[in-house]
Structure 1
Amino acid sequence: MSIELGLRQTISHTLAFSIALALQAGPTAAHAAGAQKGKRHVTPAQATAPAPDPSAPLDKVESLRDAIVASLKQNPDIQISLARQDDAKYGVNEARAAYLPRVDLTLASGPEYVQPNTGNDSLLRRREGVLNIHQNIWDFGVTINDIKRANAAYASAQWGTRKQIEQISFDISAAYLGVLEKQKLVDLIEQEIETQAKMSNMIAVQKSLGLTTSADVSRAQVRQDNLQQQLFDAQSQLQQQRESYRRLTGHLPDRAIDLPPVDPALPISPDSAVDVIEQRNPDLAQAAQDRRSVERQLASQKATFFPRIGLDLQGNHRYEVLGRTGRADDTRAVVTISYNLLNGGADMALKHRIEARLREADYQLLKIRRDVEQDLRVDFQSLKAANEKMATIESQIESAQKVVTLYREQFRSGQRSVFDLLDSQQALFQANQNRLTNYTQKQISGLRVLQKMAELFRFVGQGELPSLAVPAPIPAGPPAR
């Protein structure tokens, strides 16, 4: 009897295993047949999923670079910064003009009435002209320091523009990664629903053979219903991320794709990044240029306490000026020295004001450097933690995959319960979800480091920044009178 009972159990397990394999192969075969006919295989879970948003085309790949460039051209703050940058650029030429000669010409002609003490009154036709040429010879550093101050102001404006460009690039890139993460999460849940459907079929077969109970079937169905709810939530989150992307770019994204790994573009260590932040970080570089501008302004102001030496050339033409004098012309060339002896102390007060501004700029530079260095070290710590966590997650996924495969085989032979089977699959799904979330966080931390190094657009745009200046639209208003 024991031999006969053992033989029946062996036959039952073999029959259950064969039927389960046939059921598992069924959806795959149907999927292959549907693909040959040009149709997409739809699982029961996908049939109940909400229809995709018709306003969200996903046939094309969303170009992150094009979206950033278009947003930069449409952003008023960027255009304001570019206009200020051009203003500062031409301010350099204005300061440099003090090195060049100044030429003034005055011409006058008209009637002149003369009533001398003796003689007859006269009404004459008066003409005169004056030509002045002034060339600065030496001003004890006023001009050169004004040029350096203007150059520093121009560099500061450039860094200010770059700061805004990097910030906008980071915001759009982070939103892009959010869309990508939710896209992948939806795909992951859909794949898990398909896997769960196969497992439910296998459990149902086991129940028909008396190897499992109705409670086991219900437990599998609950798991499938939970996955369906997660799919609805993930689809809703995907649409929210797409709307967040549209808020930044003005359009819904097409299909997002993976960005290149950020690790190769990062400095090798926090210390190496901190060593170059004064030349690479927009906030710190702008603060340094602002300080340099104030420093040059102070040097220029100090130079005003010394005399100025110049060369003046003048030519005069006079005809009938203050009486019947006829034509009288004269020219002269003189070296002039101008020296302000007293102006009530205004120049000294201005010097003290600039010194106070310089002291403020020194402390502002120190504060920004501390903040940037601390932020960089925090970002690198986040990257380190994400890398360590990623290694752990990969090991967890590998182990969970082995457990799932082993538990399925043991479940078919009756050595594992439904709870063990579902629990192992849930652990694998959770590990894959953790990998997806951790990778996105790692990429965002790396992009934040590149933003602080003014390298973010070059990384996501795969090239140099194009021209962004756009003429301002003519405002509508009443016609000019």
Structure 2
Amino acid sequence: MRNNVSQTLKKSVAALAVAAVLLPPAVSAQSLEQAVASALDTHPQIKQAFNRFKASEEQINQASASYYPTINFDAGIGREWTESPSTRRDSALYGVDENVDLTRREIGVSLRQVLFSGFQTTNEVKRTEYEASAEQWTLFSTAEDLALEVTRAYLEFMRAEQVVVLAERNLASHQTIFEQVKQKTDSGLGSTADLSQVTGRLARAHSNLISAQNNLSDSRVAYQRLVSVAPQDTRIPVPDAIMLPTTLEQALSLAKENHPTLKAAGSDINAAMAQRDASKSNYYPQVTFDLSASWDDNLDGNDGTTANPNDTIGADVGGNSDEVLAMVRINYNLFSGGADRAREREAAYSINESKAIQLNAYQDIEEGTTLAWNARVFLKQQMQYLRQHVEAALETRNAYDDQFKIGQRTLIDVLDAENELFQARREYLTAEYDDLIAQYRLLNATGSLLESLRITTPAVWDGENSNTGGAQS
């Protein structure tokens, strides 16, 4: 697009003057691609989205843990004071103290494997996978939007830079006219009214330059906030014409097919469906396999080595307890007060909410795509007339200047012509950059801005489980 505009501008000497302003040389330039890559590497929004994605991947691992058995080990040692029917009986029979104080020891290990959970584990794994997929697509969407922000800031900075150049040229022209009029006035050939008029216009030119410099400073700050470095030696980027859609219908189709926000919304719908399926698990019995072993000593006031004072052998009569247990258990909840039905209805509402969010996202993307497309169409038409305005204003300014020198034009005519040329150049400059921004907006709307900039996202964004594969609803 930029090359086409430049070729058209070369058709006239006036257009060459415009092009000289709009096309500064780029030596050791900081490209748009470099700026976007720097922002993706440093911006907090990207770091937030990335860490949310990685956290959601860990939730997959948590859900998958239910496929494996749980193994627990417990042990304890301490003093146990016991007064019970057993100790009182021993006290009556053997004449010992009915209060028994022993060192109690316990060791146990247990294993539980869930054999059937009503498909809860399977559905929970699916849910977390889809949620991770949604976070992953959100990360890509955040990167696309940040790339557009950087692009806009990059182009706004360049536009502000060139408006300063125009303002400086405008000031120089007014300064030249002022000096000419002042020289005439000092020699008695000019009027003080003309000097006052040109003095006021010169002050306005100074004000325009200061305003342009202020805007340049603001745009530099906005750029540095996004990219983390100050802009330097920027150059006009050229959008990838091959990736730009040629019709609005094609643009909308590409947006619907490729935009990461829509894919994230699709994954959210799938996650809600998996949540609904998981909520039905309580309608089934839970089957588990339990394996446990325990070794206990000195329980319940019974000495594990000596039964009573009259025993001549250290027989074990209950102080020691060793147990190994292997069981298959079934647990079936028959009534929970309607909580299971309510949980299922909650999940159904969540599905409808996710679908509404997806529809809203599509409407937003459709609107953004259409607006970007319309901006391109109308800006193309507008730029033709703005270019003609610049050419005509330049010719008028030159003609008025020549005519003023021979007394055929007033000073106000010359000053008005100079100001109109400045305004025409600034409007054309604004339109040209708006056209570039519209093209990048269109690439962003179709979800292909990063691809068009040839920026490769880090491999770690692909995740551990290929989550993007499950993003379609």
Change (3 A) 1:279 1:110: farther
> 1:246 maps to which residue?
221
Counterpart CA distance in 2 for 1:199 and 1:137 is 93
Structure 1 counterpart of 2:253: 275
Q: Which moved more, 1:323-332 or 1:307-316?
A: 323-332
Letter in 1 for 2:53: Q
Report the alpha carbon displacement of residue 253 of structure 1 after superposing the two structures with TM. 4.0
Q: Are positions 1:363 and 2:374 aligned together?
A: no
2:240–2:452 contact (8 Å) kept in structure 1: no
Relative to structure 1, the CA distance from residue 199 to residue 447 in structure 2 (aligned partners, 3 Å threshold; closer, same or farther) is same
Match of 1:440 in 2: 433
Instruction: Give the C-alpha shift of residue 259 in structure 1.
Output: 3.6
Read off the aligned partner of 2:162 and give its amino acid letter: K
Residues 61 and 254 in structure 1, CA contact (< 8 A), matched pair in contact too = no
Q: Deviations over 1:161-219 (max 9, x none)?
A: 44444444444443332221121122234445667888999999xx9xxxxx979x998
> Retained in 2: the 8 A contact 1:312–1:335?
yes
Report the more deviating stretch, 130-139 or 187-196: 187-196
Task: After superposing the two structures, state which structure 1 stretch, 174-183 or 224-233, moved more.
Answer: 224-233
Q: Secondary structure of the equivalent of 1:293?
A: helix
The verdict on how the C-alpha distance between 1:447 and 1:80 changes in structure 2, with shifts beyond 3 A counting, is same
The one-letter code matched in structure 1 to 2:374 is Q
Q: Distance in 2 between matches of 1:306 and 1:151?
A: 24
Q: What is the aligned counterpart of 1:115 among 69, 87, 93? A: 87
Output the amino acid matched with 2:285.
Answer: P
CA distance in 2, matches of 1:269, 1:258: 28
Provide, for residues 31-85 of structure 1, a one-character-per-residue CA deviation record: whole Å limited to 9, x for no partner: xxxxxxxxxxxxxxxxxxxxxxxxxxx998667645884697464x555444433
Q: Which amino acid aligns with 1:359?
A: N
2:18 counterpart residue number = none
Q: For 1:25-424, what aligned pairs fall within 5 Å after superposition?
A: 65-66=34-35, 69=38, 73=42, 75=44, 79-112=47-80, 113=82, 115=87, 117=89, 120=94, 125-191=103-169, 226=201, 229-230=204-205, 232-246=207-221, 249-250=224-225, 253-255=230-232, 257-262=234-239, 264=241, 265-278=243-256, 280-322=258-300, 323=302, 324=316, 325=318, 329-394=322-387
Deviation at residue 88 of structure 1 after TM alignment: 1.8
Residue identity over aligned pairs, in percent, reads 20
Q: Offset of 1:363 from its aligned partner? A: 2.0
Instruction: Measure, in 2, the Cα distance between the counterparts of 1:467 and 1:138.
Output: 35
> Structure 1's 423 and 445: CA in aligned 2 closer, same or farther, altered over 3 A?
same
- SS of 1:267's equivalent? coil
Deviations 1:257-287 (A, max 9, x none): 2341235253343333323435643543333
**CA contact 1:182–1:234 (8 Å) conserved in 2:** no
Q: CA deviation at 1:142?
A: 0.9
Q: How much does 1:320 deviate?
A: 4.6
Distance 2:229 2:410 in 1: 43
For residue 297 of structure 1, report the CA deviation from its aligned partner: 0.9
Gaps of 5+ in 1: 1-57, 208-212, 469-481
CA distance in 2, matches of 1:252, 1:83: 24
Distance 2:73 2:148 in 1: 56
Q: Provide the C-alpha distance between the structure 1 equivalents of 2:455 and 2:50, rounded to a whole number of angstroms.
A: 22
Letter in 1 for 2:372: D
Q: Could you tell me how far 1:365 is from its partner in structure 2?
A: 1.9
Q: Contact 2:40 / 2:46 at 8 angstroms: preserved in 1?
A: no
The answer (yes or no) to whether the contact 1:458–1:465 under 8 Å persists in 2 is: no
Task: Indicate if the aligned counterparts of 2:105 and 2:296 stay in contact, CA closer than 8 A.
Answer: yes
Structure-2 change in CA distance of 1:276 and 1:318 (3 Å): farther
Deviations 1:220-265 (A, max 9, x none): 9968974773454144233234225425635894445234123525
Aligned twin of 2:10: none
Indicate if the aligned counterparts of 2:40 and 2:143 stay in contact, CA closer than 8 A. no
CA distance in 1, matches of 2:424, 2:240: 22
* TM-score under structure 1 length normalisation: 0.66
d(CA) in 2 for partners of 1:436, 1:137: 71
Aligned residue in 2 for 1:473 = none
Taking the aligned partners of 1:255 and 1:275, their CA distance within structure 2 comes to 38
| Distance across 2 between alignment mates of 1:401 and 1:465 | 50
Q: 2:6 aligns to what?
A: none
Report the 3-state secondary structure (helix = DSSP H, G, I; strand = E; otherwise coil) of the residue aligned with 1:343.
Answer: coil
Q: Is the 8 A contact 1:259 1:460 kept in 2?
A: no
Aligned length: 402
Q: CA deviation at 1:372?
A: 1.9
- Once residues 360 and 202 of structure 2 are traced to their aligned partners in structure 1, the CA distance between those partners, rounded to angstroms, is 50
Distance across 2 between alignment mates of 1:463 and 1:219 = 62
Provide, for residues 390-409 of structure 1, a one-character-per-residue CA deviation record: whole Å limited to 9, x for no partner.
3444466567778888x599
In structure 2, C-alpha distance between the alignment counterparts of 1:225 and 1:261, rounded to whole Å: 41
Gaps of 5+ in 2: 1-25, 303-315, 462-473
In the aligned structure 1, how far is the partner of 2:321 from the partner of 2:111?
20
User: Cα–Cα, structure 1 residues 399 and 232, in superposed 2: closer, same or farther, change >3 Å?
Assistant: closer
TM-superposed CA distance for 1:304, in Å, is: 2.3
RMSD of the TM alignment (CA)?
4.6
Report if the CA contact (8 A) 2:118-2:280 is conserved: no
Contact 1:169 1:456 in 2 (8 A): yes
- Relative distance call for 1:431 and 1:123 in structure 2 (3 A) is closer
- C-alpha distance in 1 between matches for 2:240 and 2:36: 23
Give the distance between the partners of 1:101 and 1:376, measured in 2 at CA: 51
Distance 1:444 1:223, change over 3 A: farther
The C-alpha deviation readout for 1:145-175, integer Å capped at 9, x for no partner, is: 1112112222333344444444444444433
Contact 1:156-1:285 at 8 Å conserved across structures:
yes
Question: 2: distance between equivalents of 1:140 and 1:259?
Answer: 60
Moved more, 93-102 or 314-323: 314-323
| Structure 1 residues 418 and 396, CA gap change in structure 2 (3 angstroms) | same
Take 2:194 and 2:455, find their aligned partners in 1: how far apart are those partners? 50
Shift of 1:381: 0.8
